[in-house]
Amino acid sequence: MIRERRNKAKLEMYYDKFIKEGVIDPNIHPWVAESWLRSKRLGVGTESFSLDEKLTAQELAQRREKYCAAISFLDGLYEEIKEHFTTYNLSMLLYDQDVYVLKNYALPFYQKTAGELEGARMREEDVGTSSVCIAHRHKVSFLMFGPEMWIKACQNGDACSAPIIVDNQVKYIVTVVSVQQNELPYSSVVALVLSIKYAMEQHLKLIASLTAKHTILDAVPLAVYHILPGGEVAYANKLGHSRLSGIVPPGSEEKEEGPNLSNVLLNYRHTPLYKGFLGVPSYNREVTWITPRKTYEDITTVVPLAGDDDDIESIVAVSLPIEDLRTLVAHTAGYTARYSLSSMVGTSNTFITMQDKASRTVRHDYHLLLQGEPGTGKQRLAHGIHQASSRAAGPLIAVKGGDMPPEILEFELFGRGGSETGDRPGKLELASGGTLFLDEVEKFPATLQEKLAEALESKQLSRSGETVHRPIDVRVIAACDTELKRLVEKGVFSARFYEIISRAVVRVPSLRARRDDLPSIATHIIEELAVLHNLLPKNLEPAAAELIMGYDWPGNIKQLQGVVEQAFFRTSGTTITCADIIMPGEQGLSKAWKEDKTAFIEAWKAAGGNISRLANMLDVSRVTLYRYLKKYGLDKE
């Protein structure tokens, strides 16, 4: 607030009258008068102020670190104009929003040294009426004349304070104090303070905006670069920096702005970057970057930036690494848990014990071993544990030990690097942030077991064919059809790998050990089939339940699933009877299909043309069924 020059003698008279008689002269500025009344009510002394409320050296250092952007700006500004401060005997203070002095510039102020003032609190309850208190309270710039200040020791100078407002909040206050008033017009002091206020506010808004934009750019799965003519990288986001770190020439790792791309990209003149400086934009092009250390494949966009004279001054390049794209696709391609812990049903003691232990495993994050006979539901249990764990938002990826040759299994788990067909992440990388389910882990080759143990212990891996170490964050749930500890004792399974995956062991009981659960399991299978195929629900008659309970089910739930599925689709009504159930080993459709095409077609139709369902119904592998489809000429139907 710009105020007219006031008569100092009259202001001194008004001040003395209030101090002695408590009378406010009508010529006193209303804000000053209100502050005088509050200062008197607070009992603030008038002779000199104390510095009782003061930050410790450590607290002050912490605040300066927090507000380093503002201090750095004011430091630079002061360096440019400090001669002006010396000539006109000016001093300047920077306060934070709590009115603590962050820094004192130029001459000693209020007969205090810079070190005494810095860290001191200067609120109204501390120093009474002052320009900084009024600027803080009313959120406007204010010029205060010496005799208006509450502390008499401060009345030999005038002060102008301005609040630094960012996002509609007072973040700082700047005060300039003038002792030799006759040599410098008041309007000049006010203009100086207002100029500092405007410059600081614009600078801090720009810093806040840039910080937000940098945060956004660092969060996106894209490498973003701002490149100057000649290939100099002026800016790179977090992913961009990580990509550059892999191609920085030896000896230049400390170069903050990054390498000159024209020096490290062997095919620089054949990339969209070079064409961008010729004014040619490029959008979502597949580009190969050849460097002395590695070859990258990206999906790249290049946008030229022209200056006022329409000459290309720089380019912006945005690249999505194809290997990251593959990972992103993997995470969105259905690698999620299909079952919850509640999808496994039963009331027997053995089942409740298993379910309780499985529920406890979701509370921690260490690796886990599931043991049980084939077909007991270990995969479904792994799904449930993943879904109930803290990793539920991450992917669940399964790898089966007996599904592929050892060398292919290693590529499947660890990926490929440095191959002519391009880099490929393995399942260990794709499962990062989630769970990797290793089924039939006892069938993994010994060398692969050791390699897995090394990767899980170090939490990093190298793809097959490369030496680059990549971090992984994955929980392994392993499943085994046999007693894995016995295999370790026989020396046919890695003791090191066993120790890692067996910190918690959950044993999944066979159906023989939970015979009372058979009717509820069969009913649950029927309910799932009805929902899956959008069919009316069906009931299991008591006699059919007794029939199911009378069998040992050596194939466990997987075998029961096949029999119940077959009965479900054979039943035309809503009740499944004993006549609808073909038990394992019985003569009928389950055997005739091997020699009779008509019987096979009936089974195929009963399974709804679903190869997995038919495999369960006939208790054979999918590979066998594909062979019979071809034999009967049905592979193209």
* The 3-state secondary structure of 33-62, one letter per residue: HHHHHHHHHHCCCCCCCCCCCECCHHHHHH
What predicted TM-score, i.e. pTM, was given to this entire model? 0.53
What is the reported pLDDT for 263? Answer: 80
Please name which of 549, 525, 503, 536 lies closest in space to residue 613, comparing C-alpha atoms. 525
Which bin fits 28, alpha (ψ -120 to 50), beta or left (φ > 0)?
beta
Looking at residues 328-337, what average pLDDT do you find?
Answer: 63
615/624 Cα distance (integer angstroms)? 9
What is the reported pLDDT for 200? Answer: 93
What is the reported pLDDT for 205? Answer: 92
Q: What is the mean pLDDT of the chain?
A: 85
Task: Name the pLDDT band for 393 (thresholds 50, 70, 90).
Answer: confident
Q: What is the pLDDT of residues 31-53, one digit of tens each?
A: 999 999 999 999 999 988 777 88
Looking at residues 180-194, what average pLDDT do you find?
Answer: 79
Looking at residues 549-574, what average pLDDT do you find?
Answer: 86
Q: What is the pLDDT of residues 424-441, one digit of tens each?
A: 788 898 888 899 999 999
368/477 Cα distance (integer angstroms)? 5
Looking at residues 608-630, what average pLDDT do you find?
Answer: 72
What is the reported pLDDT for 39? Answer: 93
Q: What is the pLDDT of residues 82-109, one digit of tens each?
A: 888 888 888 899 999 999 999 998 754 4
Identify residue 330 by its one-letter amino acid code. Answer: A
Most confident of 105-109, 256-260, 309-313: 309-313
497/491 Cα distance (integer angstroms)? 12
Q: What is the pLDDT of residues 601-618, one digit of tens each?
A: 777 766 666 676 677 667
Written as six digits, the tokens of 517 are: 């659960």
Looking at residues 294-310, what average pLDDT do you find?
Answer: 85
Q: What is the pLDDT of residues 458-475, one digit of tens each?
A: 999 988 888 778 889 999
Which neighbouring-strand residues pair with 225? 236, 317
165 neighbors 72 (Cβ within 8 angstroms): no
Beta pairing class for 223-227 and 539-540: unpaired
- The secondary element (H helix, E strand) that includes residue 575 is strand 575-576
Helices in 550-620 by DSSP H: which ranges? 556-570, 589-592, 597-606, 611-618
296 neighbors 289 (Cβ within 8 angstroms): yes
Percent of the chain with pLDDT over 70: 89
432 neighbors 459 (Cβ within 8 angstroms): no
590 pLDDT higher than 80: no
What is the reported pLDDT for 108? Answer: 47
- Burial (CB < 10 A; 0-12, 13-18, 19+), residue 287, is buried
587 pLDDT higher than 50: no
636 pLDDT higher than 50: no
